[in-house]
Amino acid sequence: MQHLVSAENDKPYICFASNQPLPNLTPLAGGHLQPAAIHVITPPERRQYADWFQRAVAVSLPETPVHIEPIDDTYDLQHTRAALQRLAWAYPTGCVVNITGGSKLLTLAAWETLRREADRIFYVRPNDDSVAWLHPEATPTPIADRLTLRQWLLAYGWQVSADMPPKRPDANASTESIQHHRARVEQIAHAYKKGWIGRAKELSTDDGHWLEEHLAHAQVGHPMITEPASDRRHRRLPADCAAIRRKQLAGTLSKRKNL
């Protein structure tokens, strides 16, 4: 697939930190956009998401500098407009601005400040994975699905490190079994990307301890995965969810027997 806007690849890419990072990341994945620099606008409460996004971008654009631009109060229109104006002054030849993840006031400030003749403004349409060009108006551009599993995990705060000692494959594990587990991980990532949360949860919990088996069967050098520290109280690994569901089912059956 061609670049989204090949003539714009030397311009900086500006986006807004969000707890839904994929619309910010997919235009960059696989070389759709190749900006000279990336600026992530973030209020204090979203700084963590900006850091995760920065790590995910480094997978496909390791040489591209990513600057995190803190804004103290994105609900102060004048303050936000002034912060964006400084970026406009820094790049007089124009910017490429993704307004998908911004608050209403942040989006308004960007529209007022970064809508010069040389600027490009767009948002990502989740229904068909395309870029909708708002300034100047143009035909939507499809985004090919080039987001890797590693990028997806990093963008959501998971730690993926190839330096951690991997578990060696089980000598009794078949090639088909290993491929099955890896395919399941890809399916879950795709489901989350599409917003099919229910389907992703089903894939995560309907096959027992498949994730543990996948990690145990991983080849030497395969990255190990650690969940985000901030989410550990709220997010359970698929194997944990399956165990809880089995206990709940056993409890339900026990109650029925006692009736």
pLDDT by residue (tens digit) across 191-228? Answer: 766 766 666 666 665 554 445 445 444 433 445 556 56
Judgement on whether residues 117 and 171 belong to the same structural domain of the protein:
no
Give the whole-angstrom CA distance, residue 57 versus residue 66.
8
Query: What are the tens digits of pLDDT across the range 68-120?
Result: 999 988 888 999 999 999 999 999 999 999 999 888 899 999 999 999 999 99
Q: At what angle do helices 175-194 and 197-205 cross, to 10 degrees?
A: 160
Does pTM surpass 0.75? no
Range of the structural domain that residue 170 is part of:
158-258
Of the residues 142, 169, 199, which one is the last residue of a structural domain? Answer: 142
Same domain, 76 and 195: no
The pLDDT value recorded for residue 181 is 61
214 occurs within a structural domain: yes
User: Which residues contact residue 175 at a Cβ distance below 8 angstroms, ignoring those fewer than 6 apart?
Assistant: none
In the chain, how many domains are there?
2
Among all chains, which residue has been given the structure tokens 């990307």?
193
Angle CA 20–25–28, to nearest 5 = 165
Instruction: Tokens for 30, please give them.
Output: 């696989």
Helix axes 104-113, 77-90, angle to 10 degrees: 40
More confidently predicted of 176 and 62: 62
List, for residues 152-174, the tens digit of each pLDDT value: 889 988 887 654 444 444 445 55
Using alpha carbons only, what angle is made at residue 248 by residues 242 and 254, rounded to the nearest 5 degrees? Answer: 135
